[in-house]
Amino acid sequence: MKKMFLMLMSFVAVLQLYSQQTVIRIGTNETDLILCTAPTGRLYQSYLGPRLVVNSDAENLSYFVSGPAADAPVTPRGWEVYPASGAEDYFEPAFAIQHNDGNMTSIFRYVSHNQTKKDGNVTETVIHLKDDVYPVEVSLYYLAYAKENIIKTWTEIKHTEKKPVTISRYASNMIYFESPAYYLTEFSGDWASEVRMSNQQLQFGKKVLETKLGSRAAMHCYPFFELGLGQEVSENQGDVVLGTIAWTGNFQFTFEIDNVGNLRVISGMNPYASNYELKPNELFTTPEFIFTMSDQGTGKASRNLHKWARKYQLKDGEKDRYVLLNNWEATYFNFDEARLEVLMNEAKELGVDLFLLDDGWFGNKHPRVGAHAGLGDWEVMRSKLPNGIPHLVETAKKAGIKFGIWIEPEMVNPKSELYEKHPDWVIQLPNRKPYYYRSQLVLDLANPKVQDFVFGVVDKIMKENPEIAFFKWDCNSMITNIYSPYLKEKQNQLYIDHVRGVTNVFKRVRDAYPDVEFMLCAGGGGRCDYEALKYFSEFWCSDNTDPVERLYIQWGFSQIFPAKAMAAHVTSWNRSASIKFRADVAMMCKFGFDISFADLNEKEQEFCKLAVKNYNRLKKVILDGDQYRLVSPYDTNHTAVMYMNEEKSKAVLFTYDIFPRFSEKVFPVKLQNLDPNRRYKVEEINLMPGAKSRLKANGKTYTGDYLMKIGIEAFTGGKMNSRMIEITAE
């Protein structure tokens, strides 16, 4: 009897709790995400859009939003914040589980939430949900960055069933939109053709963006997207959403338009081949999903992400960057001590800060003279470099520059001592013929011993050479031959545990060597996500350094990442482009060279020195200022990008004529967001020695208003022609 009474009382208490609607407002200065509970205790998204001015408007929102008209024969459903499979929502779920008794449903109900101000700008909201039939809990985390208008969100999953449960969906986040039409911009590519942008209108059903490559995961599909609400995304107007997942492995975005024309966006790890066994009390943390909304197009949304990244996410986001000379395209594997010495002296002459030694410096039994051998044997190749790395660091020091080094520590060539000693450290099938990509295999980072080994690669180099200032960390293969010797019968955890192992090592390295800069590279831009960028200060956008191609590639990556995170070097990939054009393209990002200085003529050398000087003088504006993408290479035969400091006192404008048609009409380039009432001096800089500016506006002053409404006649009919223009407030 007593038991029954207690049960009744707790039922009443639950009812009381659920009958009060809880409204949770996750807001930035420009966006509101409003969640509220229904009388059933389930949590729904009641609003996501421009910030609501009046508080009571947020309170008045209903838990079910926009379905068919009230008198229609279909019952409207709510937009459940973390819907699990097996309930009345028949679309793609955020979560799916199999409990100990074989049951495959979950329904989460609101338990509590708390909001904490992290600082004047950042508010954290944590919402606890619980299934009241099975002991499974979900916590939803949201960090709202007020000024930058960014929301970062992730989820934690835990249970206390007797035995492990299997989770087969574990989204980081799910959000809903209601609009007459939805347009998706996706980014696809391959080696040397990264981030090609394409648009499509979404229709009923699903569009999935995902990767299954495991490592070097972003080679074909990039972990970000743009959504246009009501119209295709455009640079300066319209409602857009930019989203990105911070996960250095298999990710998945699902865009699903439901039966009533609403759009659901689910973001997270890719559950492909990854049913995860979760032990009682083990915490499963999903990757962070980061998004921003803008009612003024993608230009503003990208600037939100850039500012936020520099301040909160990117390693050393607010610090300066080195200009460097890399030997890869100058020598490939073909170098020795004397050749490197020459290059280091050239680096000094050029005026850069650092020399970066690329692939090919290691391996003795299996010398790394090409991509087929030596990977994994991180001992200096004595035949090539008899005095070791310390001597090279010393040589750089004598030349007055810093020294950096290339590694690819997650990988192994079967032709290596590492492979001979530890075949069990390698992801490979025990019973099938291996398939190699670039003659290499991926180490089994789910294994803690392998994590120690990979950390040890950096640790050993640093202990022996404490003055090393920079690492280029490459990752040239996706996971092939998918079998982890360490995970044994739990192969379905490989994709997740491998990436968690990689991230652990990244963290350990950053914590052990916080002042060293790290470049993320995966045979070009195959790794570019905001988790890895917590530990890496930049990423290599592409092995394709043809400046024409780079204009498109840099345009693509700039949608999500700040110029400061994007490494761009002057190379000889396209010799028919002038050295000035090549430099002007690389100077839009984190600048460097990958060229033999001696191959340039005197004028070109002089120009390069000038470019380094100009870059150093203006890099605060380029790397820390706001970026305005003025003219898209996708729309015309020209492109223009401008950077401006916060005070609006200095701007740098880059303009490029790619392959204009004969007698094509060119339009003036209109600048953006200058102070209309201030006067600005326009000066063309970065000219070849002896060349005179032919820019009509050169040396003149104009109001900001003029420069924004009438613009500068900077484009020409010349092929692969470029201009760098400095704009200074008087």
Quickly list H helices, 373-493: 388-398, 417-421, 448-464
Nearer to ligand DGJ, 224 or 540 (CB): 540
In 3-state terms, what secondary structure has residue 710?
Answer: coil
Measured CA to CA, the distance from residue 654 to residue 16 in angstroms comes to: 62
Q: What span, in angstroms and rounded, lies between the C-alpha atoms of 401 and 344? A: 8
> Looking at beta carbons only, is 299 or 523 nearer to ligand DGJ?
523
- Rounded-to-integer distance, Cα 455 and Cα 694, Å: 54
Tokens representing 296 are 């003024």
x/- letters, 535..574, toward ligand DGJ (CB under 6 A):
-----x--x-------------------------------
Query: SS3 of 51, please?
Result: coil
| Dist CA 250 CA 222 (whole Å) | 10
The kind and range of the H/E element at 9 are: helix 2-19
Applying CB under 6 A, among 131, 210, 258, 474 the residue interacting with ligand DGJ is 474
Contact 355, 401 (CB under 8 A): yes
Residue 519 Cα distances to 351, 405, 431, 691, angstroms: 21, 10, 36, 35
Cβ partners under 8 Å of residue 625, min gap 6:
643, 644, 645, 646, 650, 651, 652
Instruction: Considering the complex, state which of residue 44 and residue 540 has its C-beta at the smaller distance from ligand DGJ.
Output: 540
Q: Which stretch binds ligand DGJ (CB under 6 A): 12-20, 235-243, 288-296, 517-525?
A: 517-525
Contact region with ligand DGJ (CB under 6 A), list: 194-202, 421-429, 516-524, 705-713:
516-524
Contact of 601 with 580, CB cutoff 8 Å: no
**Other CB atoms closer than 10 Å to residue 117's CB: what's the count?**
10
Site for ligand DGJ contains 523 (CB under 6 A) = yes
Q: Which of residues 291-350 bind ligand DGJ (CB under 6 A)?
A: 328
Total of residues contacting ligand DGJ (CB under 6 A): 11
Q: Does 186 bind ligand DGJ (CB under 6 A)?
A: no
Query: What residues from 370 to 429 belong to the interface with ligand DGJ (CB under 6 A)?
Result: 406
Nearer to ligand DGJ, 543 or 624 (CB): 543
Q: How far apart are CA 619 and CA 25, in angstroms?
A: 39
Q: Which of 215, 267, 476, 722 touches ligand DGJ (CB under 6 A)?
A: 476
Residue closest to ligand DGJ (Cβ): 359
Binding span for ligand DGJ by CB under 6 A among 174-182, 477-485, 520-528, 672-680: 520-528
Q: Pick between residue 411 and residue 640 the one whose CB is nearest to ligand DGJ.
A: 411
Min CB(227)–ligand DGJ separation in Å: 31
For the bound state, the minimum distance from the C-beta of residue 543 to ligand DGJ, rounded and expressed in Å, comes to 5
We find the least distance from the C-beta atom of residue 669 to ligand DGJ, in angstroms, to be: 33
524 contributes a contact to ligand DGJ by CB under 6 A: yes
- Give me 513's structure tokens: 């060597």
- Is the C-alpha dihedral spanning 228, 231, 233, 238 positive or negative? negative
> What count of residues does the chain have?
730
Residue number, 428 or 476, with CB nearest to ligand DGJ: 476
User: Cβ closer to ligand DGJ: 440 or 655?
Assistant: 440
- CA 41 to chain centroid: 36
CB of 376 to ligand DGJ, least distance (A): 14
Residues near ligand DGJ (CB under 6 A) are 328, 358-359, 406, 474, 476, 521, 523-524, 540, 543
